[in-house]
Amino acid sequence: MFRPLRSLYASGSVVSAKYLLAGRDDTPINVLVWLAFDGSDKVRRRVAENPRTPTPILDMLASDRNSEVRLAVSENRWCSNSLLEILMQDPCDDVRFGIAENYYTPIECLEKLTTDQNPHVAWRARKTLTTHYRQGFSQAA
């Protein structure tokens, strides 16, 4: 059962309460949408991680000013391939490295990242691909 906001706010700081709320699997969608506009990078990152976050909100958070929020979008299981393609061109090397490091990044995306301008990102994409091939990873899995 969803605890009222009042009890979460009573448990500590407002940012901590919002952070906890953003990560819950029973947080109403309208509350996640509201939290996606929060001033705290931590809260927005938590919204980006939440699998219940609606696709339009993930699309919005993919252009967040904070690179950790953008990376969290790329790691959300509901991040579309088209959105992932956009994030693979992120100006922040850490975002692209995180995508290259993610075992669940589609193989086609990893192959594209092997030619990334940053040698560390390209190396990480090759390493992740090698792990896929060694373990016989199937995209159908």
What global pTM score does this model have? 0.85
Look at residue 12 in the predicted model and tell me its pLDDT: 54
Look at residue 10 in the predicted model and tell me its pLDDT: 47
- The answer on 96 and 51 residing in a single domain is no
Encode pLDDT of 48-71 as tens digits: 999 999 999 999 999 999 999 999
Encode pLDDT of 17-47 as tens digits: 999 999 999 999 999 999 999 999 999 999 9
Look at residue 14 in the predicted model and tell me its pLDDT: 86
Q: Which of 87, 102, 122 is the last residue of a domain?
A: 87
- The answer on 77 and 13 residing in a single domain is yes
For residues 128 and 101, the answer to whether their CB atoms sit within 8 Å is yes
- The answer on 120 and 61 residing in a single domain is no
Domain of 77 in residue numbering reads as: 1-87
- The answer on 106 and 72 residing in a single domain is no
- The answer on 70 and 13 residing in a single domain is yes
Number of domains, the chain: 2
Look at residues 103, 71, 102 and name the one whose alpha carbon lies nearest to residue 87. 71
- The answer on 15 and 1 residing in a single domain is yes
- Rg of the chain (C-alpha set): 17
By CB atoms closer than 10 A (0-12, 13-18, 19+), residue 11 is exposed
